[in-house]
Structure formats: structure tokens, C-alpha cells
Amino acid sequence: MTEGTSRLRARSIVGSWFAVLTTVLVAVAVVGGAAAYTAHVAPGTETEQVERTHWRADGAFQHSADVTRENPVFPVGSTLSDRSTYYAGPAPVLDGQYTLTYAGADAEPATVDLDATLVIQSSSEETVFWSDRTSLEATSVESVAPGESVDLGFSVNATAVADRRAAIQESLGDTEGEISTFVRVDATVAGSLNGQPANRSFTHRLPIAVSGETYSVGPAEAGSEPVTTTRTVRTPREYGPFWSIGGPLLFVLGVAGVGGLVVGWRENAFTLSEAERDLLAFREERAEFDEWVVRARLSTAFDDRARADAESLGDVVDFAIDADTGVIENPDTGLFYAVADELVVVYEPPALARSEPPAGDEEAGSLGALLGDGVTLADEAADESDDGAPAVDETDDGAPAADESDGQSDGESKNAESPSPEEGDSDPSVE
């Protein structure tokens, strides 16, 4: 039993592209092996900068103003607190408080110095043209434990601030820059880190804007001021599924493919014999011209016609198209015929194709009308009599009848062979 067309074609392709396929599979194995080795054996490391906070100082402002003058809205003696706008007439003095909280899980006690200053200045984005500073309050606390706070209170008279700013402007005249007023708190936290001094100095501000009969406070420029250290940490590099899973799969695929190619090459599995190449070419040609071929058995009425042997099935099909006839495949012999009035073109397939068992005989419905006289559907019982003996025409005296025809009828050649007498029988017409 010969191989299927797909298998023969696959062997032929692999044999033709053996070097290329081997190179590709080797490359796949190398890439997969490198990816697998990198992901699982030597992933390498990544350098990362890790910042650690040892302790921090959190600053915050609170403010309020007591109502000291009669007005129709706020009772005298009441306190207005944490408002964005205050009224200079009823409550001209702003009472503020700055709170610094010292925190840190592994922090040691620290010394905290706070100094509050009222600043009136004219400045641009990069230049301070003039500045007037008035010291408000200051405090220093030693041995502040983590979690403890230090408070610094101060007071600012909004009316006095307005008068002071007006006096400066009148004295200096029109100056460049924008005039601003704020309470500045300079803070210093003197702590330690691993037994070594670790100081942190910073400044927080509380803006105050006086405008006519009102003054606005805030928003405060304060927050957390940490003391940190940075160290370099190396961690194993992590890879995605393409490296960790795809790498081993590619390696196994490449190695298995190369191994299969090598084994097949050693056993000549990818080299087609000449007979197999002819068989593959015939099968492909047979599939290409399948619609032109009819399977049927031929009688022997074409023995006297001129016969031409074709080199390929395609040549038979070309002749059949030109002669307006069909192509017949004899399932018994595997030969292909194209029958014309004066010529029979025959193609003999490769030996392996003829050795294959026929797929099944198929009746050709109107074959006689297609090919003309002399072509009949074969019937194995047609040449036998009812008792199973061959049918023979005899003369009156028992001898086989002689064919007196000259062999030519209506332009077609017919030759009928007489059966030979059986051994032991005598012919009455011969002494």
C-alpha cells in the first residue's frame, strides 16, 4: 500500500527544505534555551533605590480672632476661628498658633527650636526688593520624644500691619514687585540617626492679606518634613510568561524538531525514490484533471486503430479537448485513453499508481454516446453463455464460422478472433 499524497508531499517538502528547516529549528531551540536559562537559572538582578524615613516633623497652623468691638453681627467677646476672612473693625488682632509634631517609629528624642516672624516684603518671582521683619515669638524645647508636639503662639494686629505697609510705601515710593505679608516660622529639629547627629531645618508660612476693612488668612504653606536615608537594593529580576513558559516550550520544540529531522535524514525518510516522485506527480495531475476523466472498462474493438502513447495525463486531456472527446480511465489496467475516429491516445501511469487498488468502479452513464461506436461498458458476464461457456458462432457442420468481411466497414476497422477448437475435438472441415 503506497503512501497518501499529503504524506508524500510533506516528505518532498521536508527533503527540499531540510537545511532551512534545520537552521530554523536550531535557532528556535537556541532562543528558547536562552530565554529559559535567563528566566529560571540566571535571572539577574535589578538595582532599586529604596528610601527610608527615620523621623519627620509635621507643621500646622491654627488661627482665630476675638471680637473686641461692637458690631451688628458678631457678639463682643466671641471668637472667630479658622476662617479665610476676618473683619478688621470688630476683630483686628489675629491670634495664631503653630504646632510642630515630632514622629518616627525608630526616632530618638530631639531638640526643637521655633521662631515666628512677621514679614512684609516686595518681591518678584526671583528677587526680593525690600523686606520688613518683626519678631513675634520664639521657643526652644529639648528632648522632644517621638509623638510629642511643640506649640508656638503669636499675634498679629491687622490694622497695624496695614499702617506699617502704607508707611513703607510712602517712604520708598512706588517700587517694583508685589507686596506680600506673612508669618514666617523657622523650625529646627536636632535629632540623631544611628547615634549620629541628624538635623532638619525648614520654614513654614501663613500668608496674611490686608485689604480695607477685611484681612484674609491662608492658605498655610506647611506640611511634613521627613529625615530619610537612601540605600541601593538589588532584587532578582522578574520575567513574564513569554520568558518563563515560552522559553522552555520553544527549547523543547526546537530540540524535538531537530532530533526528528536528523533521525529522518539518517533513515532517508525525506528522500523520495524516482518511483515515488513519479507517483506524486501523477496524483497531483490526476487531481487537477479529475473533471475530465471517466472510469470505465473498454472493449477490444480498438486494436486496429492507430495508437499514440502520451507522456503525461495532461497530454491526453489536451488531445481529448482538441478531438471533442473524453478521457477514460480503465480501472482494471489503470491506463488512460482518449479515443478519436482515427487515433487512440494512451497514457500509462507510473507503476506504483497502477499497483494501487482502484477506489471502486463507477458506471459512465452515456459513455457510448460520448465516444462513438467501438466503446462499451465492460461486463464480465457479457462474453459468457447461460451455461458459463464462451459463446461461439459455428457453421452448420460444427466448425467455427469464418469471417468473410474485408475488415473495413463504414471507415472503421474491426477484427474478430475465432476461438480455437478445444484439444481433442476434430474439425469436420479438416481431414
3-state secondary structure 106-148: CCCCEEEEEEEEEEEEEECCCCEEEEEEEEEEEEEEEEECCCC
Report d(CA 185, CA 187) in Å as an integer.
6
Whether residue 219 has a cis bond before it, omega within 30° of 0: yes
In the prediction, which pLDDT does 228 show? 78
Provide the 8-state DSSP code for 87: E
In the prediction, which pLDDT does 385 show? 36
- Contact predicate 309/346, CB 8 Å: yes
What is the separation of C-alpha 390 from the centre of its chain, rounded to a whole number of angstroms?
Answer: 75
Helix 5-16 and helix 274-288, axial crossing angle in degrees, nearest 10? 120
In the prediction, which pLDDT does 150 show? 93
| Residue stretches of the chain with pLDDT short of 50 | 1, 359-431
- Determine the longest span between alpha carbons in the chain, in angstroms: 172
CA distances from 413 to 243, 383, 427 (A): 79, 21, 29
Q: Among all chains, which residue has been given the C-alpha cell 504653606?
A: 221
Helices (H), 305-387: 313-322, 351-355, 367-371
In the prediction, which pLDDT does 384 show? 37
185 beta partners: 116, 204
In the prediction, which pLDDT does 73 show? 87
**Grid coordinates of 292:** 475530465
In the prediction, which pLDDT does 360 show? 44
- Contact predicate 342/305, CB 8 Å: yes
In the prediction, which pLDDT does 367 show? 33
Question: Does the CA dihedral 190-191-197-202 come out positive or negative?
Answer: negative
Helix 18-36 and helix 247-266, axial crossing angle in degrees, nearest 10? 150
Helices (H), 236-298: 241, 247-266, 274-288
In the prediction, which pLDDT does 383 show? 38
Mention every residue, 6+ apart, whose C-beta is less than 8 A from residue 149.
Answer: 99, 100, 101, 102
Report d(CA 72, CA 80) in Å as an integer.
15
